[in-house]
Copies of this chain bind each other. A is one copy, B any other.
């Protein structure tokens, strides 16, 4: 009964959330589905995006100690949807009331100050003898410190407010020593705001990893995603990130290691930089659900919001795996002209897109640069979701299908044989590309074709060649995709040369070889392979096989009834 008792807690553990924006709203939606009672603290109370969904709210500021205490009296656990809360007040409430706070006020305070956050990670990594790589940074109490950082690192460098910055606000690029003074005064607002400097980081991509941590300190990480900023705001997120698997794994390792050093339970958003040399540097952490994890709502078994709830009410953490091949998210930002019409443009496209899910936060009226909603798209692979993202932005036709089978041949003299594969793929409505790649006359093209096939969305390659037929085997040596070899019939050895050149591959590099000259079977084999993960295509193959059977049975009847003497096929 232990497990059942644990689960029963999700209906009795009252959760309070500081902040009633869209993150709180999506948390409340997940809570409603699970049956977790949630109360929101927000100035707009029941009229906040989150309050409208949770059905329970306290009106007041999430930075007001009295209001936090009022919320604490109503709930068993307090959590946050925004890190700009009064961490000290939160700590006092935690000490004086019978309420748990996740993540811990200490963690929130630590993360609020980006300089302390980085210093903590540096120290914790050293103590644990673990690597949490970060770019260089230093405290800059005055302009002198900025100039000295510039001398050490060169320019440009980043000057940042230690606290309260978001969506690019509170950051400035110091282009040269002569800019240091003005950047320092404008950001520090006459010494009121504390600053620190970061060495310029020439990253190739921005990555993010959502990490959920339970009360026992166990963590689980969602896949590494790529975030694209526009005007200093998150514009799109692509999951998984289109970087090497090694970099994705390293980002997940770094993010998990960083969150392991924090106190308290909940979900954390970890932003990282992918460097051109393959390294991954931690940028910063958010102690709450994060824009880069919105895709999980439609792409994962358990969303970031549900996992946050599970963590704070002490349910077992849920799976962070994706249930679809790939996903992406587009933020719907208040249009520059502030009109609802311009703002809704991407949603009008999404509503017509098969693979899109619309999320609208119900903030009205739209304000320029305000996050009004988001759109998730899901698909079988990164290629498809990239196309869907373009369609949402009005720059591509979602119906245009990119090829998933590559048909290549060593010479145009192979085309009369290879066209049968193209005909089969056309018949089964499988998008393909067809071209000439000669192993012996265009070896570099061969290498590039095979090496790029996977990233271009190709799932299998049909390669036809005759004589010393090296094309299929060489392609198979370069790509991890399955390669189907078609031995083309030759005049000297009737294709025996082609067959043996293709089929007799050494251990380690297989080529799926079909009969001499039988490119139709190569097409059919590609369809069967694609059908392994596509029940509709498998059904089409069944239908094809049934038609073949019927044709032969009809011929049998004709032969039986008409007699063999007068039979004509």
Contact = CB atoms under 8 A, between A and B. Distances in A.
A360 B521 contact: no
A513 B516 contact: no
Contacts of A208: none
Contacts of A1: 341
Contact of A480 (B321, B484, B538): B538
A127 B310 CA distance: 56
A525 interface: yes
A340 interface: yes
A482 to B, nearest CB: 4
A360 B510 contact: no
Contact of A52 (B10, B55, B357, B511): B55
Given A4-B345, A344-B8, A522-B510, A516 B532 contact: no
Contacts of A359: 33-34
Contacts of A302: 357
A454 B4 contact: no
Contacts of A125: none
Given A508-B520, A510-B524, A7 B515 contact: no
Interface in A341-366: 341, 344-345, 347-349, 351-352, 354-362, 364
Contacts of A511: 514
B548 A508 contact: yes
Interface string A495-514: 00001000111111111111
A229 interface: no
Interface residues of A, number: 98
A507 B521 contact: yes
B8 A341 contact: yes
Interface in A132-176: none
Interface string A540-568: 01100100100000000000000000000
B6 A348 contact: yes
B352 A316 contact: yes
A515 B533 contact: no
Nearest to A342: B4
Contacts of A319: 354-355
Interface of A: 1, 3-8, 10-11, 25, 29, 32-35, 46, 52-53, 55, 240, 245, 301-302, 310, 315-316, 318-319, 321, 323-325, 340-341, 344-345, 347-349, 351-352, 354-362, 364, 373, 378, 380-381, 420, 454, 459-460, 477, 480-482, 484, 499, 503-516, 518, 520-522, 524-525, 528-533, 535, 538-539, 541-542, 545, 548
5 contacts: A4-B341, A7-B348, A25-B32, A316-B351, A509-B524
Q: Which 5 A-B pairs have the closest CB atoms?
A: A512-B512, A35-B360, A533-B533, A510-B521, A510-B525
